[in-house]
Chains A and B, each alone.
Chain A
Amino acid sequence: MKKILGILGLLIVVCVVTASLSDSFLSAYNVENVLRRSALFGILSIGVAFVIITGGIDLSLGSVVCLVGCGLPWLLTVHHWPLGIALPVVLTVAMGIGLAHGLLITKLRIQPFIVTLCGLLLYRGIARGFTGDQTVGFGSEFKGIRMLATGKIPFLPGFELPAPVVFLAVVAVVAAVFLNRTIFGRYLLALGRNPQAATYSGIPTERMTVLAYVISSGLAGVGGVFFVLDVNSAQPVDFGNFYELYAIAAAVLGGCSLRGGEGSVVGVLVGATLMQVLRNMITLVTTRNNVEFAIIGAVILIGVIADELARRFAARRRTARAMQSVPQAGAQV
């Protein structure tokens, strides 16, 4: 919990600063928009957090978003597959990708970075291939299913909750329970810290690692579906571009250590929200979108540095307090 306080503080600071610089930040329209984007990225971030907890990394998820996000409208509008088949198919493909990653990493012992880097190139390439690089979309059809991403649920007078937020809440609760309350979550945390000791304790480390990659790619697939439902059309060239970096940054800001074995779902959610608020701030406050990456990079760096300093400060405080409780025995001997 304490780990989250720092990033939560940063989120509040960024919100306050943005609100004071721009009147439209707190408008219902903008808040709903930021929440929707945060929810969509939150789904991806939770997925990649599982992989990061095992000590791995998933660089491919932006391309999985692209593959699924282009694949779904392509199957529906070009091939006229029924929704009840197309949707399960694209999600199964996404999970199959995770399964393949996991098996390559555990059975062939190829490094996660390499496996998923190749995935990053591969899946976007495939999506560009089967669409012939053409934009795909739903046009004016599929209004019903698109409500999943674009719909709103009355919440407060004058304010409605975007549907993806509700979906994210469900995903987050399930993920948090899985991580903290099931033996499998404990297995993941243990093997992320020390895979050897986990193996010696009879934990099926390979199967658990594969599971983490399936979760990551699976949620990337779900995210892809939501993203394309939200924006209505996808361009294979850049749909989902850099999303893996937003997701990884959100997870790390939220307290996942890239060394593995550490991370909380709530932290990841705060991290994902922070990223979207930052992007929102840049569009609202500046007229120059081209500095977006520079600002985001700087804020992540500040966040990580602040977190590290806070931890050191806490450690020193702890020592100092313990010192006071030591009777001055040492001084008299």
Chain B
Amino acid sequence: MSVPVLEARRIVKSFGGVRALRGVSLAVHAGEVLAVIGENGAGKSTLMKILAGVQGPDTGELIIDGQVRAIRSVQEALSLGIALIHQELNLAETLDVGANIYLGREPQRMGWIDSGRINRESRVVLEQVGLAVSPETLVSELTIGQQQLVEIAKALSVKARVLIMDEPTSSLSGYEAQNLLRLIRELRSRGVAIVYISHRLGEVHGLADRVEVLRDGENAGQLSGGEISHPAMVRLMVGRELSQFYPHKVHPSGAPVLEVEGLRTRAHPRHAVNFQVRAGEVVGMAGLVGAGRTEVLEALFGITPALAGAVRVDGRALAAESPRAAMDAGLALVPEDRKHDGLVLEMGVRENISLATLHRDQRRGFLNRQQERALCEEMVGAMRIKTPNAEQPVQFLSGGNQQKVVIGKWLATRPRVLLLDEPTRGVDIGAKQEIYLLMEELASKGVAVLFVSSDLEEILGMSDRVLVLHEGRLAGELSRGELSEEAVMHLATGAGPRVSHPVPVS
């Protein structure tokens, strides 16, 4: 085989007492897609950050084109042609899209920033990733999915030889993800080496030439070509078989718990949305990025109160003008962006888990610390949160474990209606199944579950019924019998012809 463009040998990296990498090796060649998979906390992101010069290894060496090199900074990695798309978004929200794409390497003309060129060249990469917004749009106005596309466009604009993507599709819907996968194949055929991290094994199966599996900071095995299959990947990742991935059973649904009539959100004031969720029912909400799914959940939960509409919970009218009012009515919302809205990153696991139940467990305003510790222990156990102790600041947990902390916080409120926005975003396969089991268990106890997901497989696997939104409108409703990938996509894209297809990469 040819010399790898980038190779890592025996990389060791610790954070405090946490040993994230214990001697991992990895090599990627020009013109191939190497998928790196592993459970949450396996060390994937840590390894990628080392490859891209974000952090240095404790020991171990990096070899580029056969030569041992130290990569001391992101700048140095970029100059060697290595670009990383981070798992978590790292955009400057108050700047526009073009400024973000060229942040830190602004093209200049006589000492001035050449914004004409920024806009021209940004348009090209934005088109490649299929994001139809102007480079002058402020990043804060974009949805998470769109921001993710900006991150990808940013990495593309570097024209890297090695492109590392850490869960680039985690908040993209099926349609945008397909588009990205097409782009990756295109780059591969042009000789770019691609390192691709994802918890969506379906994607990995269709895309990867080779798969490197990490477990607990070590190499757990390799698969290539025909060996790459769903069961084989799972076995290497978790060390056992996972039977019946979606635990879904059809529920005998009871009385309507959540009734929504004529709901108009600020994002799509022209369309009113009507639906119900019954006791014990799991309802999925599908749609493209920007279809207004998050807006519906946030209006119900009183984050951005709706413009109009009636909401009833167990038959009682809910004036959701604040999250507290929604919580008192029995609602809980696991938000889409955990770093921004779900967690206080510098606080510990315990303090995050108890944050939404402090007022319930208080003793005349005083913290009930015993109860708080017990609650934390219970949730860490039930959700199998991987953390050295209850006081560990959640910023140091892996993405999937952070997500479990957010879900644990909301389960603690014992909701009547559980709203989940992308509940398995960035969550590994074992934890995914645990989250599914939890949804299932809650439904069987009579909780009404409404979840938004961009992962079509999950929508199909977990829903009793699916609501499909298209540009703020309820485009259709599919019962379990009518569910199929085509039926959902058909409704989500506004029945096909009206969607403008992104220009293919030239």
Contacts and interface: CB of A to CB of B under 8 A. Distances in A.
A326 B19 CA distance: 8
A322 B14 CA distance: 7
A196 B343 CA distance: 9
Interface stretch (B160-168, B265-273, B362-370, B470-478): B362-370
Contacts of B181: none
Nearest to A193: B344
B10 A194 contact: no
Interface in B303-362: 303, 322-324, 326-327, 333, 335, 340-347, 351, 355-356, 358-359, 362
A305 interface: no
Interface string A310-333: 000000001101110110011111
B345 A202 contact: no
Interface in A188-215: 189-190, 193-194, 196-204
A190 B344 contact: yes
Contacts of B344: 190, 193-194, 197-198, 261
B468 to A, nearest CB: 26
B324 A330 contact: no
A190 B355 CA distance: 8
A261 B352 CA distance: 14
A196 B140 CA distance: 14
A323 B14 contact: yes
Nearest to A200: B341
A319 B12 contact: no
Contacts of A138: none
A181 interface: yes
B12 to A, nearest CB: 4
A194 B406 CA distance: 14
A182 B346 contact: no
Contacts of B18: 322
B324 A197 contact: no
A197 B351 contact: no
- Per DSSP, chain B at the interface is mixed
Contacts of A203: 324, 355
Interface residues of B, number: 41
A182 B365 contact: yes
A331 B61 CA distance: 11
Contact of A318 (B16, B23, B303, B340): B16
B16 A322 contact: yes
Contacts of B22: 326, 329-330
A326 B343 contact: no
Contacts of A319: 14-16, 58
A187 B347 CA distance: 12
A16 B358 CA distance: 45
A256 to B, nearest CB: 14
A183 B351 contact: no
A333 B10 contact: yes
Nearest to B301: A200
B225 interface: no
Nearest to B22: A329
Contact of A200 (B16, B19, B303, B346): B303
B409 interface: yes
A186 B362 CA distance: 12
30 contacts: A182-B362, A182-B365, A182-B366, A183-B365, A183-B366, A186-B355, A186-B367, A189-B347, A190-B344, A193-B346, A196-B340, A197-B344, A197-B355, A199-B323, A200-B341, A201-B323, A201-B356, A202-B322, A202-B356, A204-B322, A318-B16, A321-B17, A322-B17, A323-B58, A326-B19, A330-B10, A330-B22, A330-B23, A330-B59, A333-B25
Which 5 residue pairs spanning A and B have beta carbons closest together? Answer: A330-B23, A330-B12, A183-B358, A202-B324, A202-B323
Interface of B: 10-12, 14-19, 22-23, 25, 58-60, 303, 322-324, 326-327, 333, 335, 340-347, 351, 355-356, 358-359, 362, 365-367, 409
Given A182-B366, A183-B359, 13 more contacts: A193-B347, A197-B340, A197-B355, A199-B323, A261-B346, A319-B15, A321-B17, A326-B22, A329-B23, A330-B11, A330-B59, A330-B60, A333-B10
